[in-house]
């Protein structure tokens, strides 16, 4: 992970002395190279220019993927500063609090400074990193340092604690200069990688049990557009004696030899390339222990010998508590029946699983109405528009129907969200078309039967809440706007009603997950709770999961009765699962509140 400048004779001369001086720490000279892959981590650039960082230690919030080196802090010093003198007199990094079932595999540091750079790590299995006095000589004018940690599952651990706190201790200085002791002031949590870059997948098997393996796939590029990813397809519910969490990912790069036979009505399609956000065969990840371990494999159709190899895109998933079945909506390539069909829109199909995602029914085409109704009650001809899945979560509504998130595109760049109502007896219809200029919508049914939508505003690069009720059929701004506003970037978000997920209770507990800082690419994946149906989203109910860049595509599900599961694209490039105690997000029992204000 190079952060230093180009080679210098003085820098190379440091290596022999350092190797002799260090027993548990090995340092080597590193030359600067272009950042490659999701593990590249730049803190500061432009050394010698006007971009000079101030002195300080910043603890980072990152999902700690087992088996992977993850940045946990940056240390920046300035010439003549108090921190600079202490770093030069010695540095020691150690773990003071680790969750059950985890051990420190290695700690490492990368230093860069004008004219040189160093990298080093603790010996394998050591829980402490030591940078001794005199390691950096001659003394530079400033130092920029990144500290990393690699955790692994303890060999004899009975259970992995995904929610336990992780705390680090950093000791600087010496007896002569005075010691500076500090503890990390942020909370990072363990993460299970559901889709990792190919270079990392081979080394990450320690994070799962013997029956589960991390999903493989093509190498993920440096994170750039995490906010463009659709919301993740994840759902959970009680099935028999187990609480099942299911995730469906479109993983490109799998064997598509059988795909031509699987497309509805036959036909052919062009090959697909890309990564987890691009069309690819469906991969199902299933957990029955709160996300600690996962069974991972290609989607299987009941009664068929092989796996379903049709490339899918924008999957949406729901759990129907009435029947105990999961339902999956996804896009597949339109069958090509001739030259005139090349521009055909993707077909939408629905599959269901009654055995917790192990096998699925034969995909059935979903009929899409060609006439919609806007908020003024006027009919809208949709025959010339493209209607696609938004991905994320569907809703098993209290009225008995299934609601699917779709998006209407056209004419031109125009977009508007819409919910498709699928009847249990067959047949589909649209509820009132959503506002224009909105996209990446996520939905939740409230305790009073209203449907709340969180949609991205294309103009303002932010999100807003709208409310729909059957009685008037219009998407309206809440009677009482959320206070404070729900911070969110313009990309995908996830919305979930806690009570309906657990017991179908009509309470006001909502959870939202989203990238909270509207930058390009978006920053800071966080999850936040509301106790009153979305009227307020208190700041103290926010849990930051990843304060890095290019995060996106979140999904939500109850991992068990006490925990909320979050799946998203992390700043490392991996698709990860993390668990958050529900008590950190909402109250144990919330009132029957909503943004309708009782209307």
The residues near 218 (Cβ < 8 Å, ≥ 6 apart) are: 198, 252, 253, 274, 275
Low-confidence ranges of the chain (pLDDT < 70): 1-53, 123-125, 197-229, 252-278, 335-345, 458-462, 471, 478-491, 518, 589-599
Q: Domain 191-584 is of which CATH architecture?
A: 6 Propeller (2.120)
Which of 263, 267, 291 is CA-nearest to residue 279?
Answer: 263
Q: What is the DSSP letter of 241?
A: T
**What pLDDT, in 10s, does the model give residues 200-220?**
443 333 332 323 333 333 333
Rounded-to-integer distance, Cα 232 and Cα 421, Å: 20
pLDDT of residue 479: 57
**Contact (CB, 8 A) for 486 and 512:** yes
pLDDT of residue 264: 40
Distances (CA, A) of 76 to 10, 28, 289, 312, 498: 22, 20, 41, 46, 42
**What pLDDT, in 10s, does the model give residues 328-351?**
999 998 764 343 444 456 789 999
**Contact (CB, 8 A) for 472 and 466:** no
Rounded-to-integer distance, Cα 421 and Cα 401, Å: 6
pLDDT of residue 470: 72
pLDDT of residue 501: 85
pLDDT of residue 493: 85
Rounded-to-integer distance, Cα 316 and Cα 331, Å: 10
Residue 207, Ramachandran bin (φ over 0: left; ψ between -120 and 50: alpha; else beta): alpha
Residues in the chain: 599
The whole model's pTM is what? 0.82
Token pair recorded at residue 328: 């999956």
pLDDT of residue 290: 93
pLDDT of residue 486: 65
Token pair recorded at residue 559: 């991992």
For the residues of 147-201, what is the DSSP string, one character each? EEEEEEE-TT-S---SSS-BEEEEEE--TTT--EEEE--S-B-EEEEEE--HHHH
**Contact (CB, 8 A) for 371 and 380:** yes
| Phi, psi at 88, each rounded to 5° | -70, -25
Token pair recorded at residue 443: 């939905």
Q: How does strand 364-365 pair with strand 347-353?
A: antiparallel
Instruction: List where CATH 2.120.10.10 sits in the chain.
Output: 191-584
Which of 358, 211, 338, 343 is CA-nearest to residue 265?
Answer: 338
The count of C-alpha atoms lying within 13 angstroms of the C-alpha of 292, restricted to the half-sphere facing its C-beta, is 21
Cis peptide before 484 (omega within 30 of 0): yes
pLDDT of residue 581: 95
Distances (CA, A) of 94 to 91, 130, 161, 170: 10, 9, 20, 7
């Amino acid at each position: 992970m190079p952060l230093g400048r180009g080679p210098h004779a003085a820098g190379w001369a440091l290596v022999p002395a350092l190797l002799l001086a260090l027993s548990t720490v090995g340092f080597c000279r590193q030359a600067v190279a272009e950042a490659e892959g999701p593990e590249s981590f730049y803190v500061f650039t432009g050394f010698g220019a006007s971009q000079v960082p101030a002195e300080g230690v910043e603890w980072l919030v990152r999902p700690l993927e087992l088996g992977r080196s993850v940045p946990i802090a940056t240390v920046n010093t300035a010439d003549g500063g108090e921190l600079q003198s202490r770093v030069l007199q010695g540095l020691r990094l150690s773990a003071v609090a680790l969750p059950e079932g985890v051990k420190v595999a290695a700690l490492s540091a990368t230093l860069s400074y004008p004219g040189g750079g160093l990298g080093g790590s603790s010996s394998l299995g050591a829980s402490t990193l030591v940078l001794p006095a005199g390691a950096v000589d001659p003394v530079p004018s400033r130092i920029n340092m990144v500290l990393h940690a690699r955790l692994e599952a303890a060999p004899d651990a009975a259970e992995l604690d995904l929610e336990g706190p992780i705390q680090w201790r950093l000791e600087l200085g010496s007896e002569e200069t005075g010691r500076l002791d500090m503890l990390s002031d942020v909370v990072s949590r363990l993460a299970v990688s559901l889709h990792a870059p190919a270079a990392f997948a081979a080394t990450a098997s320690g994070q799962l049990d013997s029956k589960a393996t991390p999903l493989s796939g093509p190498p993920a590029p440096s994170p750039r557009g995490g906010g463009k990813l659709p919301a993740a397809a994840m759902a959970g519910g009680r099935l028999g004696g187990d609480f099942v969490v299911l995730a469906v990912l479109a993983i490109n790069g799998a064997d598509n030899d059988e795909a031509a036979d699987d497309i509805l009505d036959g036909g052919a399609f062009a090959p697909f390339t890309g990564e987890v956000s691009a069309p690819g065969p469906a991969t199902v990840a299933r957990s029955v222990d709160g996300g600690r371990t996962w069974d991972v494999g290609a989607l299987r159709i009941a009664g068929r010998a092989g796996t379903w190899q049709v490339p899918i895109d924008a999957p949406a998933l729901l759990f129907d508590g009435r029947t105990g079945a999961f339902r999956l909506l996804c896009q597949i390539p339109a069958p090509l029946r001739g030259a005139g069909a090349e521009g055909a829109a993707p077909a939408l199909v629905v599959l269901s699983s009654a055995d917790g995602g192990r096998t699925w029914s034969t995909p059935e085409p979903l009929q899409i109405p060609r006439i919609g109704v806007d908020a003024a009650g006027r009919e809208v001809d949709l025959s010339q528009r493209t209607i696609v899945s938004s991905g994320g979560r569907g809703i098993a509504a209290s009225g008995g129907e299934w609601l699917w998130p779709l998006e209407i595109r056209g004419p031109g760049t125009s977009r508007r969200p819409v919910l498709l109502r699928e009847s249990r007896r067959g047949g589909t219809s649209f509820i009132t078309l959503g506002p224009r200029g909105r996209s990446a919508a996520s939905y939740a049914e409230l305790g009073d039967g209203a449907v709340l939508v969180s949609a991205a505003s294309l103009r303002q690069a932010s999100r807003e809440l709208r409310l729909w009720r059957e009685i008037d059929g219009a998407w309206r701004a809440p009677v009482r706007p959320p206070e404070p506003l729900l911070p969110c970037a313009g990309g995908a978000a996830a919305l979930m009603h806690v009570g309906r997920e657990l017991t179908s209770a009509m309470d006001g507990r909502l959870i939202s997950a989203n990238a909270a800082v509207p930058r390009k690419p978006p920053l800071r994946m966080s999850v936040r709770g509301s106790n009153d149906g979305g009227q307020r989203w208190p700041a103290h109910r926010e849990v930051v999961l990843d304060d890095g860049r290019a995060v996106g595509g979140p999904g939500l599900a109850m991992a068990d009765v006490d925990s909320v599961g979050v799946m998203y694209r992390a700043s490392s490039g991996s698709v990860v699962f993390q668990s958050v105690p529900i008590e950190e997000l909402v109250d144990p029992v919330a009132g029957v509140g909503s943004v309708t204000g009782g209307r």
